[in-house]
């Protein structure tokens, strides 16, 4: 009986310790993100969906705390912006979420700490987000996001000169096209398929390369109007 109790205590201690470690890793990643009061960046955008012909585009991306976001481009009114609204930067800023440890996993050769993040707000489109975090750099490398309206969005992030702020140099957002609400302007670009023979399900992706970051320089609210 004593041995059983001892093993139980040891197991609970290990679980509790891992839970604290996972939360500490997440909080370090969040601290990087919260150091960003505002930013603007030039972006190159590539849309890859089998039955949609869309040219590569350029634009500007803006963010200001607590939740102001704008992607401006004259080239692509059809870009599905919902994916950007679940980016870790906008998702973790307000701190209104619960975090649960979800083990570890290899991603791109990195042994990541995996944390499941659940928003508390009923207004959030995100139901849950599983985040893969490099515990050495405190950078979020991937997030798998289950949403209410747009299916599952997977976001893969790469980092460059702005990694100290947790801002990526490249983001790849993948999504299920039938579940992702495409703007009307995008739907109008569909060619070669009628409503009857359009594929029932296909996976699309948006690749966004970010450069020339200007961080914490003070963005005027007029940028977001």
- Residue 76's domain comprises 2-218
54: left (phi over 0), alpha (psi -120 to 50) or beta: beta
- The string over 190-224, giving b where at least 16 C-beta atoms fall within 10 Å of a residue's C-beta and e elsewhere, is eeeeeeeeeeeeeebebbbbbeebebeeebeeeee
- What pLDDT score was predicted for residue 85? 55
Would you say residue 86 has pLDDT above 60?
no
- What pLDDT score was predicted for residue 142? 96
Of 126-140, 165-179, 208-222, the poorest mean pLDDT is in: 165-179
How would residue 53 be classed by pLDDT, with cut points 50, 70 and 90? confident
Q: Are 191 and 51 in contact (CB under 8 A)?
A: yes
- What pLDDT score was predicted for residue 74? 74
* Ramachandran angles phi, psi of 96, nearest 5°: -90, 70
- What pLDDT score was predicted for residue 151? 80
Q: Is residue 223 part of a domain?
A: no
Half-sphere exposure of 29 (CA within 13 A, CB side): 30
Which regions of 91-202 does DSSP assign to beta strands (E)?
97-107, 110-119, 126-134, 139-147, 152-159, 168-176
Q: Is residue 125 part of a domain?
A: yes
Report d(CA 10, CA 5) in Å as an integer: 9
Report d(CA 70, CA 49) in Å as an integer: 23
Would you say residue 87 has pLDDT above 80?
no
Q: Is residue 224 part of a domain?
A: no
How would residue 107 be classed by pLDDT, with cut points 50, 70 and 90? very high
Report d(CA 117, CA 132) in Å as an integer: 11
The per-residue pLDDT of the chain, averaged, comes to 78
Number of domains in the chain: 1
* Ramachandran angles phi, psi of 187, nearest 5°: -60, -30
Q: Is residue 41 part of a domain?
A: yes
Higher pLDDT pick, 202 / 169: 169
191-217 confidence digits (pLDDT tens): 444 444 455 557 788 899 999 999 999
Q: Is residue 65 part of a domain?
A: yes
The domain spanning residue 120 has which CATH number?
2.50.20
Sign of the dihedral defined by the CA atoms of residues 40, 44, 48, 52, in that order? positive
Q: Is residue 102 part of a domain?
A: yes
Report d(CA 78, CA 49) in Å as an integer: 12
Q: Is residue 207 part of a domain?
A: yes
Q: Is residue 61 part of a domain?
A: yes
């Amino acid at each position: 009986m004593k041995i059983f109790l001892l093993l139980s205590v040891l197991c609970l201690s290990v679980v509790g310790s891992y839970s604290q470690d996972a939360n500490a890793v997440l909080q370090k990643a969040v601290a990087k993100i919260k150091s960003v009061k505002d930013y603007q960046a030039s972006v190159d955008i590539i849309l890859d969906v089998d039955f949609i012909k869309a040219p590569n585009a350029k634009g500007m991306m803006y963010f200001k705390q607590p939740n102001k976001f704008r992607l401006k481009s004259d080239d692509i009114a059809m870009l599905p912006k919902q994916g950007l609204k679940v980016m870790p930067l906008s998702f973790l800023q307000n701190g209104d979420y619960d975090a649960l440890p979800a083990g570890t996993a290899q991603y791109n050769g990195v042994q990541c700490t995996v944390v499941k993040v659940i928003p508390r707000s009923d207004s959030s489109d995100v139901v849950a987000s599983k985040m893969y975090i490099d515990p050495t750099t405190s950078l979020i490398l991937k997030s798998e996001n289950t949403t209410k309206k747009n299916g599952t969005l997977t976001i893969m992030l790469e980092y460059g000169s702005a990694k100290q702020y947790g801002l990526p140099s490249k983001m790849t957002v993948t999504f299920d096209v039938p579940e992702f609400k495409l703007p009307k302007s995008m739907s109008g670009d569909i060619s070669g398929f009628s409503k009857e023979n359009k594929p029932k399900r296909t996976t699309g992706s948006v690749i966004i390369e970010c450069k020339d970051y200007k961080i914490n320089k003070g963005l005027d609210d007029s940028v977001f109007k």
